Amino acid sequence: MIHRTGRAHPARAALASACLLALLAGTGIVSRPLPASAQEAASAVQDVTLSDVVLAFGTTRLEAPRLTVSGTHLSKDEIAAILRTDSPEPWAARLGRLNAASLTIPELRFVHAPKDGARQSVVYRDVAARDVRAGRIAELAAAGAAIAMTGVPGAPAEGTGTYGRIAARDLDLAALARLYGGTGERPADPKGAAAPALGPAQIVYSAFSVDDVIYTDGSGTTARLARLEGRDVGGRPIPGGWSGAVDRLTEIDPDRIGDAERAKAGAILADLIEGAFAGAVEARGFALSQIRPGRTAGRPDASEQPLLFEIARMSASMPRMEPGSPDAGASFGLEGLSFSQGATRGRLGRVALTGFSPASTAAALRRLSTEGKPGAEPKPDAKPAPVLGTLSIEDASLDLPVEEPAKPRGKPAPGRAAAVEDAVRRAAREKGAERGAAAQQPPAKIMRVGMRSAAMTFGPMRDGVPTTSRLSLSGITLPAASVSEVPGLGSLAAYGYGDLDLDATVDTAWDEGKREVSVREVSLSGRDMGSLRLSGTIGGIGPEMFDTDPAVSGLAMLSATAKSLDLTVQDGGLFDRFIAAQSKVLSLKPEELRQEYVTASVLGVPVILGNSPAARAIGAALGQFVTKPGRLSLSARTKDAAGLGIAEFGTAPSPGAVLDRLDVTAKAE
């Protein structure tokens, strides 16, 4: 795989292919000064050709052996002035003077050589820009590109790749120059807080597309992308520019990061989060393949087998974030996701994240970046916490190979029979070697785990904690034998269940003002089994309960109190199967065993719970449920409005002492 310090380089190449390419076509070239006698009249429409033009800035170098500017009123000197590297005039102002019917570059080279010794080069073919007016290109296209990366720390060898056709519409070179090159330093804030990124939001291009991307790194991992396209893509100028921000991030070693580097990274990330937006971006036909040549004896280890990872479609929408405005909400989606490695296979039909906004994270990162600075106020609540929105998953499945237990070998045959047996085994091994080791192995037994749908919704964040959350899982399917060692589920196979089909829901809400957590629903249900539903209220839950320091959160937990509990059990066939299985084990008739459970419920449970009226009500309801399983409901409320503390549960002399402090109702239907 690609080393972490090299990951920014493919990203930079992709940016160059879809976005930076346009800048290169209009800004990435500077010619050698021409004599004044060779200048053309500015008023004449003409074609201007420049040769061996070069632009170098920082660690990046751009080269165009030939550039033709057609249908322009500009002279060679005026074009040279626009493209001068050392011009004191900003790029955006100069590019605003660029007008031409077309720009053509047969070959455009982009070379990036950062300080870590890595070198990235991209060669674009047949670059053409049509209808250039005031630095804005109506249509931009390149026939393709080739990329190569060498010297990437940790990478075993050179990485190479190609792009197919690249195109963009309504591309604003001046806006791209502002974004890529930056706008200088941030204005000072007397309170020490970081100001928002400079510059207004601006659209760079209305649409772009890149076809047939292929990249192979030195380890043999190959990534393919059939098509990448987007619309209404733009951003805000940030200090140092997008290119400078990426360079500064790659210079930070996450393994040796200190407070100063962490603050620096926080400020850069906040700039990048707020600095980019897109109406829509879509990628189709992504595939990642990795081949590992190593093999072990017999069947290859799973980690050594070829890996294939595919995504049919990826999509994203990232609305612009306006300072002081409500979060617009971004969305991300994956469709047709699958992977395979040997007998292990997985699939996700669809994954979607909606209502997500990183604005709160950017704000927290800015606060973190100013901690410790003179004049800066402490920000104890500055925890990066984006608005998470809703994550949904559909049609998930996972196939896992199950290792069969080894069969015990028989005793060796005595004398001559042993020699004959050894000869037969050697012949079988030799024959198997000729046919391949894989042919000798029986197909692995497969266990399939699936899920029809899942949804996770998170409400507004408070100090990094969602105030409301809901998790729902539908159609969780798995073999009953796979949970044989799970407490409470291990006997399901013995009750006659082959494949389980389960649903589960957890729905909670935190009210900081009341210092309460409402457990609105915790439920579990199974096909041909039944359901269990739980709800209740827990008091004494304040912000300190979610502190990252275990000592603080652990101490706060001692102040939690139970206020209410509602429990509903609906039988759907599980209890009758339990009675049938247990009666066989105990050599009793099912009705005899059922009657014993009725007696234990009506007489034994009240004794255990203190024989109070509430205890007898619980016992009677249990007895009715065992006699004729249906619905069992239990409700409990503390007599004290403050609730019953956790410590009081632990120090109560008996269950009856706890029950005496509750108002309890129980019934069976």
What integer pLDDT is reported at residue 240 of this predicted model? 78
What integer pLDDT is reported at residue 141 of this predicted model? 96
Q: E strand or H helix at 333, and its extent?
A: strand 330-341
pLDDT digits (tens, 9 = 90+) for 306-336: 899 999 999 999 888 766 565 667 899 999 9
What integer pLDDT is reported at residue 15 of this predicted model? 43
CA neighbours within 13 Å on the CB side: how many for 200? Answer: 2
What integer pLDDT is reported at residue 531 of this predicted model? 96
Write out residues in the chain with pLDDT < 70, as ranges: 1-43, 56-58, 115-116, 152-157, 181-199, 292-304, 322-328, 370-386, 404-444, 463-464
Q: Which amino acid is at 400?
A: L
Cα–Cα distance measured from residue 465 to residue 510, given in angstroms and rounded to the nearest whole number: 9
What distance, in Å, lies between the first and last C-alpha atoms of the chain?
Answer: 61
The phi and psi torsions of 364 (rounded to 5 degrees) equal -65, -40
What integer pLDDT is reported at residue 225 of this predicted model? 97
What integer pLDDT is reported at residue 471 of this predicted model? 96
Q: Identify whether the C-beta of residue 68 lies closer than 8 Å to the C-beta of residue 48.
A: yes
Instruction: With CA atoms as reference, report the closest residue to 262 among 367, 405, 411.
Output: 367
Cα–Cα distance measured from residue 313 to residue 229, given in angstroms and rounded to the nearest whole number: 11
What integer pLDDT is reported at residue 490 of this predicted model? 82
pLDDT digits (tens, 9 = 90+) for 164-210: 999 999 999 888 888 876 544 444 443 444 444 456 888 998 999 99
What integer pLDDT is reported at residue 327 of this predicted model? 62
What integer pLDDT is reported at residue 40 of this predicted model? 44
Q: E strand or H helix at 246, and its extent?
A: helix 241-250
What integer pLDDT is reported at residue 114 of this predicted model? 72
Q: Which of helix, strand or coil describes residue 129?
A: strand
Cα–Cα distance measured from residue 666 to residue 658, given in angstroms and rounded to the nearest whole number: 16
What integer pLDDT is reported at residue 84 of this predicted model? 83
- Residue 163 backbone zone (phi > 0: left; psi -120 to 50: alpha; other: beta): beta
Instruction: With CA atoms as reference, report the closest residue to 519 among 489, 563, 479.
Output: 563
Q: Identify whether the C-beta of residue 574 lies closer than 8 Å to the C-beta of residue 529.
A: yes
Cα–Cα distance measured from residue 603 to residue 618, given in angstroms and rounded to the nearest whole number: 11
Cα–Cα distance measured from residue 213 to residue 207, given in angstroms and rounded to the nearest whole number: 18
Instruction: With CA atoms as reference, report the closest residue to 370 among 186, 189, 187, 192.
Output: 192
What integer pLDDT is reported at residue 236 of this predicted model? 85
- The contacts of residue 406 (CB under 8 Å, 6+ apart) are none
What integer pLDDT is reported at residue 326 of this predicted model? 58
